[in-house]
């Protein structure tokens, strides 16, 4: 049974940094799409960053380009999201998600890409204060 487990959320002041981690287990295929989404109260779940486990194009939401970096450590099946220069508007519950490789494409072309992902972590809260 595929599972995703996030860690690393917390509370920081604006301008600070956090690193989120997501450990994947139980995936039969080694090639798939993994990404980070976030959801603030009253808002849609939005894609933040995503990548193919075998490399290639990386997606970033315009709002985080230049501040967030997604990366993976294949040996440990761990996905990371390094978040720098955090802003109060980055405050949200952050979720790790995984799906077949085809799902990454949705982040570039769909307004609600989250609906394409079947596997989700439990979420980790990020709060950025002024």
Report helix, strand or coil for 102.
helix
pLDDT on residue 114: 95
Numbers of helices and strands, H then E, in the chain: 1, 11
CA separation for the pair 18, 53 (Å, rounded): 22
The token pair that represents 111 in the structure block:
């307004």
CA separation for the pair 53, 72 (Å, rounded): 8
- Reported as a single tens digit per residue, the pLDDT across 13-23 is 999 999 999 99
The token pair that represents 91 in the structure block:
């405050």
Lowest model confidence (mean pLDDT) among 14-18, 74-78, 119-123? 74-78
Between residues 82 and 2, the one the model is more confident about: 82
- Reported as a single tens digit per residue, the pLDDT across 26-68 is 988 888 999 999 999 999 999 999 999 998 899 999 999 999 9
């Amino acid at each position: 049974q595929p599972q995703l487990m996030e860690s690393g959320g917390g509370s920081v002041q604006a301008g600070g940094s956090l690193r989120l981690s997501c450990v994947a287990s139980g995936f039969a295929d080694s090639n798939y799409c993994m990404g980070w989404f976030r959801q603030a109260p009253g808002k849609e779940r939005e894609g933040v960053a995503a990548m193919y486990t075998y490399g290639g194009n990386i997606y970033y939401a315009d709002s985080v380009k230049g501040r967030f970096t997604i990366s993976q450590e294949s040996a440990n099946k761990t996905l990371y999201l390094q978040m720098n220069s955090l802003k109060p508007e980055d405050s949200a519950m952050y979720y790790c998600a995984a799906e077949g490789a085809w799902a990454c494409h949705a982040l570039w072309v769909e307004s609600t890409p989250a609906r394409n992902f079947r596997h989700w972590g439990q979420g980790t809260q990020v709060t950025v204060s002024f």
